[in-house]
Chain A
Amino acid sequence: MKPSRLSAFGSKVARLERRSFIKQSLSLGALSLLSGCTLKDDDAVDRLLSAMSRFNDKMQAALFDPTKLAPTYSEADLTTPFPFNAYYEEKDVPFVDGESYRLQLSGLIADKRPWCLEELRALPQSSQITRLVCVEGWSAIGKWRGVAFRHFLERIGADLTARYVGFRCADKYYSSIDMPSALHPQTLLALDFTDAKYGYPLRLRIPTKLGFKNPKFIHEIFVTNDYPGGYWEDKGYNWFSGS
């Protein structure tokens, strides 16, 4: 990677690390136009935007149709190469040993026995070619194959009336989704995808949500009624982020 791109990436990370996004949200150009508003309103604006984001969670949950399928595409439509995207650079993807890998389960699940890859592969597999839409605006069409997440949740005796399913990943990423979206017929616990760097050995593929709600390198799944948040969600991105 060229030095100029590296430094650009560094400043991007610094920007992304900012926790209270409203403190920085009124940039100078915009601020001068918002004359009359004092900077002391920051906290009130912050609270208002957070409240609106929670409101939008509810609206999106209401708009979500559990039977509406995401459009599917043909092999010819696949985006190659599929863009790599994470909060770190491609060279920093974690290495996971498939032999010793065990998927951990916790929370409101009846059978918390860990799963090895062979056991996951012994479950019924299905594949999909769908569009992954990034919160940044770009999109890419990819192919994923694995276990229907609904089947897996039923199999392990997860409490399907619980509110959230959470994920913890080998790259320290974490995220969570609502139960109705988890049970959508196209939500997949993907074992096969283009390349290991996209989440080996296990990732979530959920075409009804934005890309950052598709955690890679999953090592633990939990079911809970307590809001689990997520890596980007805790920094200010909308939690539901449905497509």
Chain B
Amino acid sequence: MADAAGAEKPQTIHPLFIRVTHWVNAFAIFVMVLSGWRIYNASPLFGFEFPPGFTLGGWLAGALAWHFAAMWLLALNGMAYLAYGIVSGHFRRDFFPISFKRALNDVVLAGRGRLDHAPGRYNAAQRLLYVGVILAVIVAIFSGLAIWKPVQLQGLTALMGGYDVARLVHFFAMAAIVAFLVVHIALAVGVKGVLAPMFTGRAEAPR
């Protein structure tokens, strides 16, 4: 694995394992969120429904079929990603330390267009967002299990504050993931040269 420091030739900034799990995860999250919106519409928690055209499944049974199929992909791929991140040192090396103050500082710099983006290194705002969305997905999975199995996994459901609260937790975990995606996709598309390496693994020549 290439280190951020040695940069004579194109360096591998995203290892193959990370690239594969990233795109599998992207597909699984896409299916979970859009089918989840259709399931939400069957019994809305709040005074709105998601536009049916932006949901997956066609009707409740179809949406549930997608949701309960893709959950395995999300969970298994997620566990593989977490295991890799811990064992390889990727998390320790690239995500920590996390500083709210520096993250805020980076956001201000980015707003002024003065934030340097070094290939292969996460700035403080990225670190906070990536760790945050990983935690949001974990909360979404556990609150989802609490809703799915309030009898067999009643300890987990109680931990979530009961069945009704678990539904709210599940909703807001989704909302956090979607909020992350809005920022993440906008930056991935908008910032020059960061999208291609997620496919090829290689950083473009330093500018």
Contacts and interface: CB of A to CB of B under 8 A. Distances in A.
Interface of A: 15-16, 18, 21-30, 33, 48-50, 52-53, 56, 63-65, 68-71, 131, 133-139, 207-208, 232, 235-238, 242-243
Given A131-B163, A134-B43, A136-B42, A235 B151 contact: no
Nearest to A65: B152
Contact of B43 (A15, A48, A136, A208): A136
A27 B56 contact: yes
Given A26-B56, A68-B152, A237-B64, 14 more contacts: A21-B65, A24-B58, A25-B59, A27-B54, A29-B54, A30-B34, A56-B69, A68-B154, A133-B150, A135-B60, A137-B42, A137-B45, A238-B65, A242-B149
Interface of B: 30, 34, 39-40, 42-43, 45, 51-66, 68-69, 72, 147, 149-152, 154, 163-164, 167
A33 B53 CA distance: 11
Contacts of A243: 149-152
A95 B54 CA distance: 42
B35 to A, nearest CB: 9
Contacts, number: 114
Query: Considering the complex of A and B, which 10 residue pairs feature the smallest CB-CB distances, nearest first?
Result: A24-B58, A52-B69, A236-B61, A29-B53, A25-B62, A137-B43, A21-B62, A136-B42, A25-B58, A136-B43
A237 B43 CA distance: 16
A154 to B, nearest CB: 23
A71 B59 contact: no
Contacts of A28: 53
Contacts of A18: 58-59
17 contacts: A21-B62, A25-B56, A25-B57, A25-B63, A26-B56, A27-B53, A27-B56, A29-B54, A30-B54, A69-B151, A70-B151, A70-B154, A137-B40, A137-B45, A138-B43, A235-B61, A236-B62
